[in-house]
Structures are given as structure tokens and as C-alpha cells.
Amino acid sequence: MLFHTMVGSNDIERSKRFYDTVLGTLGAGEGTRNIADSGHTRLIYNNGSGTNFIVSQPINDEPASIANGSTVAFSCDSPEQVKQLHDTAVAAGGTSIEAPPGPRETASMGTIELAYFRDPDGNKLCGIHFPA
């Protein structure tokens, strides 16, 4: 259903270092640079199935800001990968937020593994694993 998810960045080089490292834990390759018609730089990460994650300089030339209530969740293959994604993000300059990585009991989905963190620009990200 989704083609891409995009977050803004005030420092595209810092974002490239962060996301190349963090998304590498999920098997994503290095971000591809794309220069928009406006001249602004975007980084495109593709998971091989047609879904893209994009980091962009805002094309309105205003500072990038975080969206209140928004979270970008990355699907992980295992509970261990959830923790690895989180720990890699923190080591690469991100910030751990909310509860520590681990299982969460939900009424509708049973036990799921979650880890929440923010990128260096403050965008809220999550690693998530649903048991089979």
C-alpha cells in the first residue's frame, strides 16, 4: 500500500551517516542521493520490494521539524533484530525513548517486540517484530 515514507533533515550528511548505519542492520544498502528539481538533496533507501524510505532537505527552505504523533516503524525479522536496530541507532547518534527495547503485551496483537528511538533530527522511529 505504501510507496514511500519521508522524513526531513537539517543536516543531510549527518542523516546519511546515521541511516546508512542504522538501516544497514535491516539489510538496506547505502542511501542513494537524489537531487530534486528544486535543487534539494534527498536520500532514498529501498528495501527491494518497492517500498522506499526517504530523508529530504525540506523543499520550502524552512527548517525540518518532527511531526507530533508520527512514528516510522521498521519491520524486523526477530526480537534480536529489534534490539540491534535500537542499539545501532543509539550508537550512531540517535536517542532511546519511551520504555527500553523489549516485549509489549497488547490486547489485540498479543506480545510484540518494540524499540523506540529518535534520529539526530528528532524524527520518531521504531523497530517492531510480530511473532509468527
State residue 12's pLDDT score: 97
Is residue 64 included in any domain, yes or no?
no
Is residue 39 included in any domain, yes or no?
yes
Number of domains the chain contains: 1
Strands 95-106 and 52-56: unpaired
State residue 51's pLDDT score: 84
Task: Quickly list DSSP for 8-63.
Answer: E-S-HHHHHHHHHHHHHTTT--PPEEEE-TTS-EEEEEE-SSS-EEEEE--TTSSP
State residue 1's pLDDT score: 65
Model confidence over 78-129: pLDDT tens digits?
Answer: 999 999 999 999 999 999 999 999 999 888 888 999 999 999 999 999 999 9
Is residue 63 included in any domain, yes or no?
no
Model confidence over 43-90: pLDDT tens digits?
Answer: 999 877 778 999 999 999 999 998 888 899 999 999 999 999 999 999
Is residue 35 included in any domain, yes or no?
yes
The answer to whether the Cα torsion of 6, 58, 118, 70 is positive or negative is negative
Is residue 29 included in any domain, yes or no?
yes
Quote the pTM value: 0.88
CATH of the domain at 36: 3.10.180.10
Q: Which domain holds residue 123?
A: 4-58+70-129
